[in-house]
Structure 1
Amino acid sequence: MPAADALVELDVEVAPRWAFRLQSHGGRDGVLRARDGVLERLLHVEGAPVWISVRQLRRDLVVFVARSRSRDAAGEGIARMRFALGVDDDLRPFYERFRTDPLIGASLRREPWLRPARRPDPFEALAWAICEQLIESDRAAAIERRIVISFGRRCRCCGLRDLPSPPALAALAPAELCAVDLAAGRALALIRAAREVARGRVDVDPAGDHERAWRRLRTIRGIGSWTIDSLAQAGQGHHDVVPAGDLAYRKLVGRLQTGDPRARVEEAEVREYFSRYDPWAGMAALHALRAAFTRAARGLPLAA
């Protein structure tokens, strides 16, 4: 990033459209930093680095500050972080419709600010979804940290890091990703997905043609429904999408339907179960999982 006197600083005050609490922790992949109540993130807008900080001063006031080479880049960086944090999402219709629901109502009333974790760049969501396929979360986070450190971008001024760009990942050899513990099949899938995005054949932008992008990505070996669902929810803002292949949801629905804590169902059954909450199926699934954890911690049975 250029010297401080060469930067443009942009401050934006935002009143959240619905109950909101700024997260107090950073990211396990090492790109989001949290300290003293402030979130900090390095992003890149058309190659230009943008340093973003976010602080919540009051229940109804969140302040975004961006520094970059241009006002446009700073503004786009703030827009991406607003999307990632969901500060502009109006969840009142979801709350009003389901606040008395026997499964998720208590969770909604207790934590109305709960939102799915999102990424400021949809390619991040895609890349990390590929890395997180069928492995433990701790191991996936360690792989992601290694990718960021080995191939990502770092700001010498603020010390923050960003993921490697799609062209940078596309240029890697599979062996380089295997060297950071990514499985060979996933390394190939990640490189091929990066090439599709870098060459403009897949547009994963939240404003793009999502169905077309998903179809194209599904032609890549190693990218299936769970990866696409994760991209849709975490990278493109779909509240109606449930990552139905996630083991946590398959176990949750299995237990809700049978009462057996060891039961598991297939993806289709997860989607069918949460279809009653359309177009908020993804939000409902998140609250259902949170409600299950809360009740288990209290030694209570799950609601049906």
Structure 2
Amino acid sequence: MAGGSPPAPAGASLEVEVRPPWPYRLPGGGGGDAVMRVRRGVATRLVHVEGEPVVVRAWQRRDGSVVLHAAGAGADRLRVAIERMRFALGVDDDYRALYDRFRADRLLATAIRRVRWHRPRRRPWAWEALAWSITKQLIESGRAAAIQRRMVFRWGARWEGPDGSTLRDVPSAELLAGRAPAEVAAVDLAPARALALIRVAREVARGRVDPADPSDDQRLLAIREIGPWTIQCLGLYGRGEPDSLPAGDLGFIKVVGRLAGLGRRATVEEVEEFFAPYAPYRGLAGSFVLAAYHRAVAAGPPLRLAA
């Protein structure tokens, strides 16, 4: 890493070196919500572990190994912070079993070879994946990212470095649980989804739901505006479930419409049918296919809506 380690918060620190078992590239961007920052090859993220702020930085060496450095809390919290960022960055993911199983599949094997370094963009905490999936319901990704940024700048915890840099975290469930629906809707979130987000936050804040526990999904589904797509996003991006496919995602609807030769956008059922042969890796298969072919879909003529 050029120039040495950037400034870190006061307190203990922990550094871990990981050699990824599968081809890896550190993300080139932060993802659009203004939480993770990537500059000069260093990914920086503020996370909170049991309420304590920890700044985690990650960079990749020329030999392919990845270094994660955490600072700002006690040793146990530092270990948790690094563990969660290893999960979010997919450093330890090994897709050999997926590739070997579908080596003869022209579509998926080609997709994996094209973007071998691809990883689903996961979140360090399941709560973040759940909250952000609600903000993304039925809208384009650019608009969803703008909503997320407004939430982060309005309610996210901040950390200011000695170099004048500022990092922000995703608003906690406890904080969003205390917001009024009109406040949340004011960031451009549809009123019904603003109310759903607050209700979900209250369930999580009061300990009635643990987003990291799949056995609590039925309690989430009982909340109005929370459906299968939200839970599938939570599974893939918040819990790392390889078979969780967010079939209602606009990207999948478009890519399947193109790859299946439908001449239109696919339905959710058609997306599920298209990726059914890839169980128990439907979510991973979909992520690789979307990463490999989304540019071709975007370059083609617009797809009409399914009837």
Q: Is the shorter-chain TM-score for this pair beyond 0.5, marking a shared fold?
A: yes
| Cα gap change, 1:170 to 1:83, in 2 (>3 Å) | same
- Return the alpha-carbon distance in structure 2 between the equivalents of residues 263 and 71 of structure 1: 50
Tell me if 1:57 matches 2:58: no
5 Å-filtered alignment, 1:220-299, equals: 220-257=223-260, 259-265=261-267, 267-293=268-294, 295=296
Cα separation, 2, equivalents of 1:125 and 1:35: 24
Aligned residue runs from structure 1 range 112-151, under 5 A: 112-151=116-155
Distance in 2 (alpha carbons) for counterparts of 1:5 and 1:180 = 30
Deviation at 1:295, TM superposition (A): 4.7
Q: Which of the residues 72, 78, 83 maps onto 1:74?
A: 78
C-alpha distance in 2 between matches for 1:297 and 1:268: 22
Per-residue CA deviation, residues 80-134 of structure 1 (Å, 9 max, x unaligned), is: 0000011111211111222331112222112212111100111111011000111
Match of 2:220 in 1: 217
Counterpart CA distance in 2 for 1:235 and 1:286 is 14
Q: Measure, in 2, the Cα distance between the counterparts of 1:283 and 1:88.
A: 15
Q: Unpaired segments of 5 or more residues in structure 1?
A: 300-304
**1:229-271 deviations in whole A, cap 9, x for unaligned?**
11100000011111011122223333444x2322422x23322
8 Å CA contact retained: 1:104, 1:291: no
Equivalent pair of 1:126/1:230 in contact (CA under 8 Å):
yes
Aligned structure 1 segments of 4 or more residues deviating by more than 4 angstroms:
3-6, 294-299
- Aligned letter for 1:173? A
Cα distance in structure 2, aligned partners of 1:138 and 1:6: 36
Change (3 A) 1:110 1:200: same
Once the 2 structures are TM-superposed, how far is the Cα of residue 6 of structure 1 from its aligned partner? 4.5
Q: Distance in 2 between matches of 1:110 and 1:36?
A: 25
Alignment of 1:194 onto 2:197:
no
Call closer, same or farther: CA 1:190–1:19 in 2, change over 3 Å. Answer: same
- Whether 1:7 aligns to 2:7 is no
Letter in 1 for 2:156: G
Q: Indicate the residue corresponding to 1:48 in structure 2.
A: 52
Is 2:45–2:56's contact at 8 Å kept on the other side of the alignment? Answer: yes
Residue 17 (str. 1) matches residue 24 (str. 2):
no
Give the distance between the partners of 1:5 and 1:234, measured in 2 at CA: 28
The letter of the residue matching 2:128 is: E
SS at match of 1:241: coil
CA–CA distance in structure 2, aligned partners of residues 129 and 155 of structure 1: 25
Q: 1: distance between equivalents of 2:63 and 2:100?
A: 20
Gaps of 5+ in 2: 1-6, 301-307
Q: 1:40–1:54: 8 Å Cα contact kept in structure 2?
A: yes
- Map of 1:88-167 to 2, 5 A cutoff? 88-157=92-161, 158-167=165-174
Task: Tell me which residue corresponds to 1:302.
Answer: none
Aligned length: 291
Give, in whole Å, the separation in 1 of the partners of 2:254 and 2:31.
26
Letter in 2 for 1:150: R
Which segment drifts farther, 89-98 or 145-154? Answer: 89-98
Tell me if structure 2 keeps the 8 A contact 1:152–1:164: yes
Q: Which residue of 1 aligns with 2:181?
A: 174
Cα distance in 1 between the residues matched to 2:258 and 2:49: 44
- In structure 1, what is the Cα distance between the partners aligned to 2:117 and 2:219? 34
Mean CA deviation greater in 98-107 or 183-192: 98-107
- Once the two structures are aligned, what percentage of the paired residues are identical? 52
> Given that residues 184 and 194 in structure 2 are in contact (C-alpha distance below 8 angstroms), is that contact kept between their aligned partners in structure 1?
yes
Amino acid corresponding to residue 99 of structure 2 in structure 1: Y
Calculate the aligned-residue CA RMSD, in Å: 1.9
